[in-house]
Amino acid sequence: MTEISLPTAPCSQPTPDKEQKAPISKQPVSGHDPIAELLPWYANGTLTPAELALVEHHLSDCLVCRQELEQYRTLDAACPTLAKQRDWQASSAHFARILQQLQAHEAVSTPPPTRRHLLETVSNWLQYTPKPIAWALALETITLATLLLTLAITTHPTAMPTFETLSDSPKPAIAGLSRVHIVFAEDITERDLRALLTAVHGRLVDGPSLLGVYTLALPAGHGNTPVALATLRAHARVRLAEPVAADAQP
Amino acid sequence: MMGIAEQTQDPSIDVAGNGHEDLMLMRRIADRDTQAFETLYYGYAPRIGKFLMALLKYRELADEAMNDTMLTVWQNAGRFDPGQGRLASWLFGIAHNKGLKLLERQRRHQREETLDTVSGDYGQHEAEAFSAHVDVDNPERIVLGWELGDNLLWALEQLTCEHRAVLELTFTEHCTYQEIALITGCPVNTVKTRMFHARKKLTELLALRGYAVGS
């Protein structure tokens, strides 16, 4: 490997103008190090007025620092240009993916509502109740239960018939339907929404969730779902349309 | 200094970095306002994304770190305190942390090429290129514009991500050294030391290619 001499100071030679102002020696002047450490932020223009005055005073005497400053100034000019060339753009598709991840994360991390067991509640309550009162209540409860049981046996000797109300009937199955999670743009109009639902023969069956996600039911079969998905995704007011995992077509 | 508003995709979005407005925005996000979250995304994601690209080099990694960052912001928006610094510093701090963690995971599988690791074989290759193209008696070429930019980009990519972060935050984001200390979670003196070594290594790397930074 070719040995290359790497100067500590910059490689460039000072301009004639700078040479006139600079001391003959290239040795750093006293108090050089603390000031030299501030040079990057002198170059990016973020020093306080007090620091600025210190640096400027030092620069007039120190050739080494003037040369280092030129390097930092080159970086200050070049780095923003290089940053612009980096291929990273914000996009509605990327934001929609982030929302989807948030929703998935919140669905996993949201704890189910805590319901204390009845026995636990009674046990805790009894713990803080004076014993004579607790025993009296227990005896009273047993007596009441015996009475109710006797009453039930004498009035209903046969098995209780089961009653079914309309509200007890099982929810209608959505066989033949596939579901899609959909996020609309904030400015979608009711007319646009109706036209879109008509076009894909869909109907909203759930939502909006915390993150504004609706569930759309689509008639499945005959390759309808992919066509409907394409229609939804192509619509200018639809930010996200993803099949629900359990219904997803292979 | 480049203002935040200049970077936004939607010019109607006002994220001028005002402490009170930032606080209001973060409170709305803490209240699960997705529109406020979208405002924050378009206001800051382009800068954070480019910073993560500088740090991690690859689009896929930058995307993953960005997603982690936004998830953390959504979950911890209520913790933002404008008294501790600008919103941009808080966001860049989270992004920096996520970026480093991701890089750490990557390093378990694949050792990253740094200046130290390339000084062997790569140094040999560079020295050969140097001999072939540069006048040995006058090895330094002061070149501005595209040619230096291209080589500078290469040299920056050879640095450690800690050094790249300090350079990026100083010269692209125009942060103060105190803000960089806050973002990177280091003492101010460490920030200054990293800057010194980053410049020194850049100078060495560019000299290998026959260039010098400066006028």
pLDDT tens per residue across span A59-76: 998 999 998 999 899 889
A80 touches chain B (CB under 8 A): yes
Question: How far apart are the C-alpha atoms of A171 and A177, rounded to whole Å?
Answer: 14
B207 touches chain A (CB under 8 A): yes
pLDDT digits (tens, 9 = 90+) for A109-126: 665 555 556 666 666 666
Amino acid identity, position A132 = P
- Beta strand pairing call for A238-243 and A203-206: unpaired
In whole angstroms, give the CA distance from residue B26 to residue B39: 10
- E strands along B32-131, which residues? none
The structure tokens listed for B14 are: 């006002």
Residue A88 contacts B where some CB pair is shorter than 8 Å: yes
Please compute the mean of the pLDDT values over residues A92-117 and round it to a whole number.
76
Given B109, B139, B159, the domain boundary residue is: B109
Contact state of A44 with B204 under an 8 Å Cβ cutoff = no
User: With a cut of 70, which residues of chain B have pLDDT below it?
Assistant: 1-18, 110-148, 213-215
* Contact status of A245 with chain B (Cβ, < 8 Å): no
ipTM of this complex: 0.75
- For residues B100 and B123, state if they share a domain: no
Query: How many angstroms away from the CA of B213 is the closest CA of chain A?
Result: 5
Are B35 and B104 contained in the same domain?
yes
Q: What is the pLDDT of residue A179?
A: 85
Any domain includes B214: no
Q: Which of B90, B109, B128 is the last residue of a domain?
A: B109
Give the Cα separation of B154 and A30 in Å (integer).
Answer: 36
Same domain for B79 and B125, yes or no, is no
What tokens does B49 get? 């994304």
B73, B129: one domain:
no
* Predicted confidence band of residue A106 (pLDDT cuts 50, 70, 90): confident
Domains of chain A: 16-83 (no CATH), 119-149 (no CATH), 177-247 (3.30.70.260)
Give the pLDDT mean for A74-86.
85
On whether residue B215 sits in a domain, the answer given is no
Candidates A122, A117, A232; CA nearest to A179 is A232
Print the domain residue range for B38. 4-109
Amino acid symbol at A106: E
Give contacts of A101 with chain B, Cβ < 8 Å.
67, 71
The rounded distance, in Å, linking the Cα atoms of A57 and A47 is 14
> Is B213 domain-assigned?
no
B99 lies in the same domain as B140: no
Best mean pLDDT range from A132-146, A190-204, B64-78: B64-78
B131: chain A residues, CB-CB within 8 Å: 2
**Strands (DSSP E) along A77-200, which ranges?**
177-184
Portion 79-108 of B in contact with A at CB < 8 A? none
Rounded to whole angstroms, the Cα distance separating B201 from B207 reads 10
CATH code of the domain covering residue B148: 1.10.10.10
CB within 8 Å of A144: residues ≥ 6 apart? none
- Measured between beta carbons, the chain A residues lying within 8 angstroms of B175 are 44, 46
pLDDT above 70 (res A1)? no
Contact B86, B22 (CB under 8 A): yes
Considering the domain architecture, whether residues B20 and B57 belong to the same structural domain is answered as yes
Is residue B187 situated within a structural domain? yes
Residue A92 or residue B134, greater confidence: A92
What is the model's pLDDT at position A11? 33
B99 shares its domain with B123: no
> Within this chain, do residues B61 and B44 fall inside the same structural domain, yes or no?
yes
pLDDT at residue number A114: 53
- Nearest residue to B204 (alpha-carbon basis) of B113, B117, B123: B123
What 3-state DSSP class applies to A204?
A: strand
- Dihedral sign, CA of B52, B56, B59, B60? negative
The percent of residues in chain A predicted with pLDDT above 70, rounded, is: 67
Distance CA B91, CA B69 (A): 8
For the ranges A198-202, A216-220, A242-246, B71-75, the maximum mean pLDDT occurs at B71-75
Do B98 and B8 reside in the same domain of the chain?
Answer: yes
The 3-class secondary structure across B166-213, one letter per residue, is HHHHHHCCCCCHHHHHHHHCCCHHHHHHHHHHHHHHHHHHHHHCCECC
A&B contacts, CB < 8 Å: 150
Residue of A178, A180, A183, A244 lying closest to A213 (CA atoms): A183
Contact list in B for residue A16 (CB cut-off 8 A) is none
The answer to whether residues B134 and B72 belong to one domain is no
Contact B171 A11 (CB under 8 A): no
Based on the structure, what is the number of domains in chain B? 2
Residues 6+ apart with CB under 8 A from A83: B50, B54, B168, B172
- The reply to whether B180 and B159 lie within a common domain is yes
Predicted local confidence at residue B3, as pLDDT? 36
**Which one is predicted more confidently, B86 or A156?**
B86
At A105, the amino acid letter reads: H
Query: Do residues B4 and B16 make contact, with C-beta atoms less than 8 angstroms apart?
Result: yes
B108-143 CB burial, b ≥16 within 10 A, e <16 = eeeeeeebeeebeeebeebeeebeeebeeeebbbbb
Q: What is the CATH number of the domain that holds B60?
A: 1.10.1740.10
| Cα–Cα distance, B87 to A179 (Å, whole number) | 40
Chosen domain end from B109, B137, B155: B109
Give tens-digit pLDDT for A180-194. Answer: 888 888 888 888 888
CA distances to A36, A240, B120, B198 from A105, rounded to whole Å, are 48, 17, 45, 39
- Note whether residue B13 is domain-resident: yes
What count of other Cβ atoms lies within 10 Å of the Cβ of residue B70? 27
Q: Are A83 and A50 contacting, i.e. CB atoms less than 8 angstroms apart?
A: no
- B59 and B153 in contact (C-beta within 8 Å)? no
Question: Looking at the structure, do residues B122 and B149 belong to the same domain, yes or no?
Answer: yes
Of residues A168 and B27, more confidently modeled: B27
